[in-house]
Amino acid sequence: MATLVLTAVGSAIGGPIGGAIGAALGQRVDAAVFAPRAREGARLKELQVQTSSYGSQIPAIFGAMRVAGTVIWATDLIEKRTQSGGGKGRPSTVSYNYSVNMAVALSSKPITRIGRIWADGNLLRGGAGDLKANMQLRVYTGQADQAVDPLLASAEQAGRCPAHRGLAYVVFEDFQLADYGNRIPSLTFEVFERDAPVSVNAIFDQASGGLVRGQASQSLWGFAVEGPSGREAIAPLLETLPIELSAQGGQLTLRDRFETAGAVPAPATVVQENRARYDLPLTLRGPASQHPRATALRYYDLDRDFQTSVQRGEDGSFSPNTVQIDLPIVLRATEAKRLVRLRQGALRAQQNGWQGTIVRDGHDLVTGGFSGAGAEDERVSQDQHPQCTTQMRIGEHATHRNVTT
């Protein structure tokens, strides 16, 4: 409308030149008054961040482990409106980007450092600490003197924000979510409680509150203590690793399962001793249907970025049974294969064995019976029981005790 009016006025006053000037001015007026509405980009209707329920358990990390973490504090998604384009009669474009501030707990005990961070499976932070996204990241290792995070302190009331001492966590500030569909991605963290393998003695000591004294030689690359109780958390280690608990003098002691002092003679050598004859050893064998055909172990592979891996061992039997073991520890493939073989031996020991009389030369005599992988020994002096003989059931794993089966 303004173009027509100003063109006519310009032509009447200034002829053709005045008409061209009036037309140009009229086009600008029309563009300003009747400009098209700006195009709206995609916009989230719900700006609430994913929830984190109260009472969620935070594991205690030993060694190295890859964990997802638990969100312990977060803001709502922060919306930023950006307008671009437009001019000369063309519509402008309005886009919306989102960011978030949040804190994620990693371990309920102090750690040394964190390594890589993955977001939806893609690398967000490299091993050297380089960030792949535009944000700020602060790491708190859970030491006893760590300070309050300034972002959390500014968001909460003065004096009411804890420092979370004893808790390892990270804080994301201005975490841009455009690359993740404007949502919080699934995060996993590479956590290092120490830069060396951790002894099972240290794990049992802290998980039991100092009730277990460790004498075992086994060590792990990483383990996460998590469960309703410390007992349930460490139970998978007792079932799979070659270790056992024994009660000695009112103290629980962790030791290597096949560690026994001295030597026990082979059964064939004790059929006759001191002119006394004993019954021939009796071979005991369980039904084949109860013996598993295969044993599969699921674990975290140290050489595959802590991804879940499976080691499987076949026993060659015709049984349809398969034993599946889920062990939340970090291992190498060769170490996992060794554990599978040990577990297969322990399962065979529970099914097969022999029973007979054992007499041992020397001052010590094995007098306790055992069957399977978790049995205990009792040692007495032959001076106290000079004629002592014992009926024993020994599984195949007893070869580790220098017994020939």
- What ranges in 168-316 are assigned the alpha helix state H? 200-207, 230-240
Question: Which pLDDT value is given to residue 149?
Answer: 93
Question: Which pLDDT value is given to residue 61?
Answer: 93
Between 364 and 344, the more confident residue is 344
Q: Is the pLDDT of residue 348 over 80?
A: no
Between 279 and 196, the more confident residue is 196
| φ, ψ dihedrals at 344, nearest 5° | -65, -40
> What confidence category does residue 160 fall into, taking pLDDT thresholds of 50, 70 and 90?
confident
pLDDT tens digits along 281-307: 566 666 666 677 788 889 999 999 998
| φ, ψ dihedrals at 67, nearest 5° | -130, 160
pLDDT tens digits along 56-106: 788 899 999 999 888 999 988 898 888 777 666 677 788 888 899 999 999
- What ranges in 162-283 are assigned the alpha helix state H? 200-207, 230-240
Q: Is the pLDDT of residue 44 over 70?
A: no
Question: Which pLDDT value is given to residue 332?
Answer: 92
pLDDT tens digits along 264-282: 444 444 444 445 555 555 6
Question: Which pLDDT value is given to residue 375?
Answer: 35
Q: Are residues 49 and 102 in contact, defined by beta-carbon separation less than 8 angstroms?
A: yes
Residues 257, 375: Cα–Cα separation, whole Å: 9
β-pair partners for 307: none
Question: Which pLDDT value is given to residue 251?
Answer: 81
